[in-house]
Structure 1
Amino acid sequence: MGQCALGFKANTKLGEIGFQASGKLGESNTETGLKVADADTKTPLKLADTDPKTGFKVADADPKTGLFAESRIEHLVSFKYEDIIKAADTPIDRSSKDKLFAQLHSGVYLNQKKQKYWIDKESGLNCFMLFSKGLSINWVDDERYWAWRLIEDPEEGRLEMAELLKVSWLEVNGSLDPALLSPKTMYEIVYILKLNEEAYGWESPVTLKTRFIDGEEIRKLSLLPSFREKWIEVHVGDGEPDIKMRKSSLDNKPRGQWIELVAGEFYTNPAIMKHICFSLCGYEGGKWKSGLLMKGVVFRPKKHE
């Protein structure tokens, strides 16, 4: 009760992926096998320019066709996706790279559809969705308070979602290993939920919390009945708070449609070997709440404003 669910771990270490081509004009690079494009001998070739959107080094495009010598997406994600899709619910089509990456772009369900993984087609960065079944929800197995609904979703097909019947203490927790995400990227954590027309009890805002925590500490805390008391804003030294919190009002949100609540954001630093924990809580005022449908939580790269 009140636990921070532990996500799955990847066994590989993070690292930046890119490749550089070098050599004389018209010759093939011995390491990559790529042919160096003809160019003005007075102008040095830029064969390892950095993509301004992702920060990764990629091969220059052919000046005539605008195409890259090899799949840019493959080089951006090949260090990661093979380990992640080992947990795929259905077979992966590897008959061609086009079919493989088309499947990865559209999304792959993991661990009995508790999670979804996909590669953002524009940036080549990893994204995750933790559905209701992949979260830890207080009282979710008590039919007096929550119900599992099989919903026909336009994006996910038939998907089990948790529907709130009534609670006075709302708490939805989860965690993910940032090593599953693309390195050196600013991510945001977003709750996807819906309020039905009869929803009530949302006059007080909900509290959204994020923190980094050791995997071992997650397992210990999940066994403590006083776990919710740990979710307080604690400052360590003069740095940022150990737990970051923000409040959001649901009372003024539209009914009957999916809404997004940003729980927080964080930068994926390979040097930080901790899980990111997140929580949505609603217990101020002790009012009973009802009418919330929880789809899940998305981890996606934050778009530049």
Structure 2
Amino acid sequence: MGNTQSEFKIPIQAHKKTEVESRHLQPQATMQTAEVQPQKEPGRLPTLGVFSNQKLWIDKQTGKKCLMVFARDLSITWADTPDYWRWNKVQEPRDEVTEEAELLAVCWLEAQGQYEISMLSPDTVYEILFVIMIKDPSYGWEVPVNFRLILPDGTKQVRRENLMEKPKGIWIEVPAGELRTSMRGNSGKMEFSMFEYEGGNWKGGLVIKGVQIRPKK
């Protein structure tokens, strides 16, 4: 499983999250619309827009809106501390440049985001999935990680996933939950998160690409 700590830098002092000590990278809300170009990926129509930290497109099979919320648009605890997280610039297939969040070492894992559901297609069941990679080597994933979705009415969906059992070195999708939009369209923000901080284990070797919101097939 490659669970070795020898290849990772562990900070001397363990960190704990409090209201004062917790350091978050707040989502960058700037939305800069880029020129819409033909989408070359099979099964998709041209994008509706490419934003600084999000990508929106139409799925050809369903005709419904799809969304990718990149890691930079998430609030990640300690993400602005180089000892704990590293940001890697990546060029996407359509040439836009995004950033992936690579976990080096933390014992308090928390990444969360939100989205206004009125922007989604009406009368549609959506699935919300974290797109992540477990590197090889990685370590500290003995305790399952929580994946949670909170709907605008406060309803919560929580799943626990053992990341030690996931394939290493490839992108995987881990569901946080599902949402059904109404015929006339809903309003309000849904919140999605992945977190693990009760086990107390130092962990590393995780890469977060973002969260995909797409119609369930």
Alignment match, 2:115: 176
Structure 1, residues 129-187: CA drift from partner, whole Å, max 9, x if none? 00011111111111111111113455766431111011101001001111111001000
Structure with higher Rg: it is: 1
Rounded Cα–Cα distance in structure 1 between residues aligned with 2:72 and 2:93: 18
Correspondence 1:29-40 to 2 at 5 A: none
3-state SS in 1 of match to 2:72: helix
Q: Pick one of 18, 33, 56 that aligns with 1:89.
A: 33
Alignment match, 2:80: 141
Q: Pick one of 162, 165, 175 that aligns with 1:262.
A: 175
* Native 8 Å contact 2:36 2:47 kept in 1: no
Q: Select the structure that is richer in strand.
A: 2
3-state SS in 1 of match to 2:78: coil
CA shift for structure 1 position 127: 0.4
Q: Identify if the C-alpha distance between structure 1 residues 155 and 111 changes in structure 2 by more than 3 Å, giving closer, same or farther.
A: closer
CA shift for structure 1 position 243: 1.7
Rounded Cα–Cα distance in structure 2 between residues aligned with 1:133 and 1:6: 6
3-state SS in 2 of match to 1:286: coil
Alignment match, 2:139: 200
CA shift for structure 1 position 198: 1.4
Rounded Cα–Cα distance in structure 1 between residues aligned with 2:178 and 2:64: 16
CA shift for structure 1 position 89: 3.3
Q: Give me the TM-score of the superposition, normalised by structure 2.
A: 0.78
Rounded Cα–Cα distance in structure 1 between residues aligned with 2:205 and 2:156: 28
CA shift for structure 1 position 192: 0.5
Q: Pick one of 188, 191, 194 that aligns with 1:277.
A: 191
Structure 1 residue runs without a partner (length 5+): 9-86, 94-98, 215-240
* Native 8 Å contact 1:195 1:292 kept in 2: yes
Rounded Cα–Cα distance in structure 2 between residues aligned with 1:278 and 1:88: 23
* Native 8 Å contact 2:149 2:176 kept in 1: yes
Task: Establish whether residue 130 from structure 1 lines up as the match of residue 69 from structure 2.
Answer: yes
Task: Establish whether residue 111 from structure 1 lines up as the match of residue 51 from structure 2.
Answer: yes
Structure 1, residues 53-78: CA drift from partner, whole Å, max 9, x if none? xxxxxxxxxxxxxxxxxxxxxxxxxx
Amino acid paired to 1:105:
L
Amino acid paired to 2:33:
D
* Native 8 Å contact 1:6 1:176 kept in 2: no
Amino acid paired to 2:201:
K
* Native 8 Å contact 1:212 1:242 kept in 2: yes
CA shift for structure 1 position 91: 2.2
Amino acid paired to 1:212:
L
Q: Give me the TM-score of the superposition, normalised by structure 1.
A: 0.56
Q: Select the structure that is richer in helix.
A: 1
Q: Identify if the C-alpha distance between structure 1 residues 152 and 198 changes in structure 2 by more than 3 Å, giving closer, same or farther.
A: farther
Task: Establish whether residue 245 from structure 1 lines up as the match of residue 158 from structure 2.
Answer: yes
Q: Identify if the C-alpha distance between structure 1 residues 129 and 137 changes in structure 2 by more than 3 Å, giving closer, same or farther.
A: same
3-state SS in 2 of match to 1:300: strand
Percentage of pairs with the same residue? 38
Q: CA RMSD, aligned part only?
A: 2.8
Rounded Cα–Cα distance in structure 2 between residues aligned with 1:285 and 1:176: 29
Structure 1, residues 74-99: CA drift from partner, whole Å, max 9, x if none? xxxxxxxxxxxxx5532236xxxxx6
Rounded Cα–Cα distance in structure 1 between residues aligned with 2:111 and 2:203: 14
Matched residue pairs, number? 191
Amino acid paired to 2:212:
V
Q: Pick one of 197, 201, 207 that aligns with 1:287.
A: 201
Alignment match, 1:70: none
CA shift for structure 1 position 212: 2.2
Amino acid paired to 1:190:
L
CA shift for structure 1 position 202: 0.6
